[in-house]
Amino acid sequence: GIVVLGLNRSHAKNALSKNLVKMISKAVDALKSDKKVRTVIFRSEVPGIFCAGADLKERAKMHSSEVSSFVSRARATINELANLPVPTIAAIDGTALGGGLELALACDIRVAASSAKMGLVETKLAIIPGAGGTQRLPRTIGVSLAKELIFSARIVDGEEAKSIGLISHVVEQNEAGDAAYRRALALAKEFLPQGPVAMRVAKLAINQGMEVDLVTGLAIEEACYAQTIPTKDRIEGLLAFKEKRPPRYKGE
Protein backbone atom coordinates (compact mmCIF):
# COMPACT_ATOMS: atom_id res chain seq x y z
CA GLY A 1 0.00 0.00 0.00
CA ILE A 2 3.00 2.33 0.15
CA VAL A 3 4.01 3.94 -3.14
CA VAL A 4 7.43 5.57 -3.41
CA LEU A 5 7.99 8.14 -6.15
CA GLY A 6 11.70 8.79 -6.57
CA LEU A 7 13.12 11.78 -8.43
CA ASN A 8 16.18 10.73 -10.43
CA ARG A 9 17.52 13.45 -12.71
CA SER A 10 21.00 13.41 -11.28
CA HIS A 11 22.78 15.44 -13.97
CA ALA A 12 20.51 18.41 -13.20
CA LYS A 13 20.06 17.98 -9.42
CA ASN A 14 16.46 16.90 -10.00
CA ALA A 15 15.65 20.37 -11.40
CA LEU A 16 12.07 20.64 -12.63
CA SER A 17 12.20 20.52 -16.41
CA LYS A 18 9.16 20.39 -18.67
CA ASN A 19 9.61 16.66 -19.07
CA LEU A 20 10.06 15.98 -15.34
CA VAL A 21 6.92 17.97 -14.50
CA LYS A 22 5.07 15.96 -17.16
CA MET A 23 6.32 12.69 -15.64
CA ILE A 24 5.31 13.73 -12.10
CA SER A 25 1.85 14.72 -13.36
CA LYS A 26 1.43 11.38 -15.10
CA ALA A 27 2.51 9.46 -12.00
CA VAL A 28 0.22 11.43 -9.70
CA ASP A 29 -2.72 11.02 -12.09
CA ALA A 30 -2.22 7.23 -12.07
CA LEU A 31 -2.41 7.20 -8.27
CA LYS A 32 -5.65 9.15 -7.94
CA SER A 33 -8.03 6.27 -8.54
CA ASP A 34 -5.86 3.35 -7.39
CA LYS A 35 -7.65 1.99 -4.32
CA LYS A 36 -4.63 -0.13 -3.39
CA VAL A 37 -2.56 2.98 -2.68
CA ARG A 38 -2.57 3.89 1.02
CA THR A 39 0.33 6.35 1.32
CA VAL A 40 2.67 8.07 -1.13
CA ILE A 41 6.27 9.01 -0.31
CA PHE A 42 8.18 11.52 -2.44
CA ARG A 43 11.94 11.12 -2.22
CA SER A 44 15.07 11.62 -4.28
CA GLU A 45 17.30 8.92 -5.72
CA VAL A 46 20.12 11.47 -6.06
CA PRO A 47 22.43 11.74 -3.01
CA GLY A 48 22.42 15.13 -1.29
CA ILE A 49 19.61 16.57 -3.40
CA PHE A 50 15.83 16.53 -3.08
CA CYS A 51 15.05 19.02 -5.85
CA ALA A 52 16.98 22.14 -6.84
CA GLY A 53 13.87 23.91 -8.17
CA ALA A 54 13.10 24.90 -11.74
CA ASP A 55 15.56 24.02 -14.49
CA LEU A 56 17.00 27.49 -15.08
CA LYS A 57 19.14 26.38 -18.03
CA GLU A 58 16.03 25.14 -19.82
CA ARG A 59 14.06 28.23 -18.78
CA ALA A 60 16.73 30.57 -20.20
CA LYS A 61 16.00 29.12 -23.64
CA MET A 62 12.23 29.59 -23.32
CA HIS A 63 10.21 32.42 -24.81
CA SER A 64 8.37 34.50 -22.18
CA SER A 65 5.07 32.89 -23.19
CA GLU A 66 6.61 29.45 -22.68
CA VAL A 67 7.76 30.40 -19.18
CA SER A 68 4.23 31.37 -18.17
CA SER A 69 2.87 28.11 -19.57
CA PHE A 70 5.54 26.06 -17.80
CA VAL A 71 4.92 27.71 -14.42
CA SER A 72 1.16 27.14 -14.83
CA ARG A 73 1.78 23.47 -15.60
CA ALA A 74 4.12 23.10 -12.61
CA ARG A 75 1.58 24.80 -10.33
CA ALA A 76 -1.22 22.54 -11.58
CA THR A 77 0.93 19.43 -11.10
CA ILE A 78 1.84 20.38 -7.54
CA ASN A 79 -1.85 21.09 -6.85
CA GLU A 80 -2.66 17.60 -8.13
CA LEU A 81 -0.16 16.21 -5.66
CA ALA A 82 -1.70 18.21 -2.82
CA ASN A 83 -5.14 16.89 -3.75
CA LEU A 84 -4.22 13.20 -3.76
CA PRO A 85 -6.81 11.49 -1.55
CA VAL A 86 -4.23 9.55 0.50
CA PRO A 87 -1.53 10.75 2.92
CA THR A 88 1.62 12.04 1.24
CA ILE A 89 5.07 12.38 2.81
CA ALA A 90 8.08 14.28 1.49
CA ALA A 91 11.40 12.71 2.51
CA ILE A 92 13.98 15.49 2.24
CA ASP A 93 17.45 13.97 2.47
CA GLY A 94 19.15 16.84 0.67
CA THR A 95 18.65 20.29 -0.81
CA ALA A 96 15.09 21.46 -1.57
CA LEU A 97 15.01 24.92 -3.10
CA GLY A 98 12.36 26.94 -4.91
CA GLY A 99 10.05 24.57 -6.75
CA GLY A 100 11.63 21.67 -4.89
CA LEU A 101 10.41 23.05 -1.57
CA GLU A 102 7.05 23.92 -3.14
CA LEU A 103 6.76 20.26 -4.11
CA ALA A 104 7.46 19.24 -0.51
CA LEU A 105 5.02 21.84 0.86
CA ALA A 106 2.24 20.20 -1.17
CA CYS A 107 2.75 16.97 0.79
CA ASP A 108 0.83 16.39 4.02
CA ILE A 109 3.96 15.67 6.06
CA ARG A 110 7.60 16.60 5.60
CA VAL A 111 10.56 14.73 7.09
CA ALA A 112 14.12 15.99 6.65
CA ALA A 113 17.67 15.15 7.55
CA SER A 114 19.33 17.68 9.84
CA SER A 115 21.84 18.40 7.07
CA ALA A 116 19.16 19.13 4.45
CA LYS A 117 18.85 22.67 3.09
CA MET A 118 15.48 24.26 2.31
CA GLY A 119 14.32 27.64 1.07
CA LEU A 120 12.18 29.64 -1.34
CA VAL A 121 14.97 31.56 -3.03
CA GLU A 122 13.14 33.03 -6.04
CA THR A 123 13.50 36.68 -4.99
CA LYS A 124 17.25 36.33 -5.66
CA LEU A 125 16.26 35.97 -9.31
CA ALA A 126 13.86 38.92 -9.12
CA ILE A 127 10.81 36.63 -9.32
CA ILE A 128 8.52 35.10 -6.68
CA PRO A 129 7.56 31.51 -5.87
CA GLY A 130 5.09 30.54 -8.57
CA ALA A 131 4.02 26.98 -7.75
CA GLY A 132 2.19 27.55 -4.48
CA GLY A 133 5.00 28.74 -2.22
CA THR A 134 3.50 32.13 -1.36
CA GLN A 135 0.31 30.36 -0.23
CA ARG A 136 1.44 27.10 1.33
CA LEU A 137 4.45 28.41 3.28
CA PRO A 138 2.41 30.95 5.34
CA ARG A 139 -0.25 28.32 5.95
CA THR A 140 2.49 26.04 7.28
CA ILE A 141 4.70 28.33 9.38
CA GLY A 142 2.65 31.53 9.75
CA VAL A 143 2.41 34.71 7.70
CA SER A 144 5.14 36.84 9.29
CA LEU A 145 7.83 34.17 9.24
CA ALA A 146 6.92 33.09 5.71
CA LYS A 147 7.31 36.69 4.54
CA GLU A 148 10.70 36.88 6.23
CA LEU A 149 11.97 33.73 4.55
CA ILE A 150 10.66 34.71 1.10
CA PHE A 151 11.84 38.33 1.35
CA SER A 152 15.33 37.24 2.42
CA ALA A 153 15.54 34.13 0.21
CA ARG A 154 17.04 32.50 3.30
CA ILE A 155 18.01 28.84 3.31
CA VAL A 156 17.45 26.86 6.52
CA ASP A 157 18.78 23.47 7.59
CA GLY A 158 16.75 20.59 8.98
CA GLU A 159 17.08 21.67 12.61
CA GLU A 160 15.83 25.20 11.95
CA ALA A 161 13.12 23.89 9.64
CA LYS A 162 11.84 21.72 12.50
CA SER A 163 11.97 24.59 14.99
CA ILE A 164 9.78 26.81 12.78
CA GLY A 165 7.32 24.06 11.87
CA LEU A 166 8.33 23.71 8.24
CA ILE A 167 8.90 19.98 8.76
CA SER A 168 7.38 17.51 11.22
CA HIS A 169 10.46 15.38 11.92
CA VAL A 170 14.22 15.95 11.71
CA VAL A 171 16.69 13.04 11.75
CA GLU A 172 20.45 12.74 11.72
CA GLN A 173 21.72 11.70 8.32
CA ASN A 174 23.11 8.17 8.01
CA GLU A 175 25.93 6.74 5.90
CA ALA A 176 23.51 5.70 3.17
CA GLY A 177 22.16 9.24 2.93
CA ASP A 178 18.53 8.14 3.24
CA ALA A 179 17.66 8.83 6.89
CA ALA A 180 14.65 11.01 6.05
CA TYR A 181 13.33 8.37 3.66
CA ARG A 182 13.64 5.68 6.33
CA ARG A 183 11.74 7.89 8.80
CA ALA A 184 9.07 8.57 6.17
CA LEU A 185 8.74 4.84 5.54
CA ALA A 186 8.26 4.22 9.28
CA LEU A 187 5.52 6.85 9.35
CA ALA A 188 3.81 5.33 6.31
CA LYS A 189 3.79 1.96 8.04
CA GLU A 190 1.99 3.58 10.99
CA PHE A 191 -0.77 4.65 8.59
CA LEU A 192 -1.24 1.25 6.94
CA PRO A 193 -3.34 -0.48 9.66
CA GLN A 194 -5.98 2.27 9.66
CA GLY A 195 -9.25 2.20 7.72
CA PRO A 196 -8.57 3.29 4.10
CA VAL A 197 -11.87 5.10 3.62
CA ALA A 198 -11.51 6.86 6.96
CA MET A 199 -8.00 8.01 6.03
CA ARG A 200 -9.19 9.50 2.74
CA VAL A 201 -12.18 11.21 4.32
CA ALA A 202 -10.11 12.51 7.25
CA LYS A 203 -7.70 14.18 4.83
CA LEU A 204 -10.61 15.72 2.93
CA ALA A 205 -12.19 17.05 6.14
CA ILE A 206 -8.92 18.59 7.35
CA ASN A 207 -7.99 20.15 4.01
CA GLN A 208 -11.41 21.68 3.40
CA GLY A 209 -11.92 22.68 7.02
CA MET A 210 -8.68 24.66 7.19
CA GLU A 211 -9.95 27.07 4.54
CA VAL A 212 -13.19 28.05 6.30
CA ASP A 213 -14.49 29.26 9.68
CA LEU A 214 -14.96 26.79 12.53
CA VAL A 215 -18.74 26.47 12.20
CA THR A 216 -18.44 25.63 8.50
CA GLY A 217 -15.52 23.33 9.26
CA LEU A 218 -17.58 21.38 11.78
CA ALA A 219 -20.32 20.98 9.17
CA ILE A 220 -17.71 19.62 6.75
CA GLU A 221 -16.54 17.17 9.42
CA GLU A 222 -20.12 16.02 10.00
CA ALA A 223 -20.64 15.42 6.28
CA CYS A 224 -17.34 13.54 6.01
CA TYR A 225 -18.07 11.45 9.11
CA ALA A 226 -21.36 10.38 7.55
CA GLN A 227 -19.42 8.91 4.63
CA THR A 228 -17.75 6.39 6.94
CA ILE A 229 -20.91 5.06 8.61
CA PRO A 230 -22.17 2.71 5.86
CA THR A 231 -18.77 1.28 4.90
CA LYS A 232 -17.68 -2.31 5.45
CA ASP A 233 -14.45 -0.87 6.86
CA ARG A 234 -16.36 0.58 9.80
CA ILE A 235 -18.16 -2.70 10.49
CA GLU A 236 -14.85 -4.59 10.31
CA GLY A 237 -13.23 -2.07 12.65
CA LEU A 238 -15.92 -2.48 15.29
CA LEU A 239 -15.90 -6.26 14.92
CA ALA A 240 -12.10 -6.42 15.24
CA PHE A 241 -12.25 -4.27 18.36
CA LYS A 242 -14.88 -6.55 19.87
CA GLU A 243 -12.88 -9.67 19.01
CA LYS A 244 -9.58 -8.09 20.17
CA ARG A 245 -7.77 -8.69 16.87
CA PRO A 246 -6.21 -6.51 14.16
CA PRO A 247 -8.77 -5.34 11.59
CA ARG A 248 -8.59 -6.56 8.00
CA TYR A 249 -9.64 -3.58 5.93
CA LYS A 250 -10.47 -3.77 2.23
CA GLY A 251 -11.05 -0.07 1.59
CA GLU A 252 -14.71 -0.42 0.68
Q: Return the active site residues.
A: 54, 99, 102, 122
The rounded radius of gyration (Å) of the Cα atoms in the chain is: 19
DSSP E strand stretches across 151-235: 156-157, 169-171
Mapped onto helix, strand or coil, the DSSP state of residue 221 is helix
Counted residue by residue, the chain has a size of: 252
Number of C-beta neighbours around residue 51 at 10 A? 29
Q: Name the helix (H) or strand (E) containing 123.
A: none
**Chain-centre distance for alpha carbon 95:** 15
Residues 193, 10 contacting (CB under 8 angstroms): no
**Alpha-carbon distances of 56 from 17, 62, 71, 91, rounded to whole Å:** 9, 10, 12, 24
DSSP E strand stretches across 133-182: 156-157, 169-171
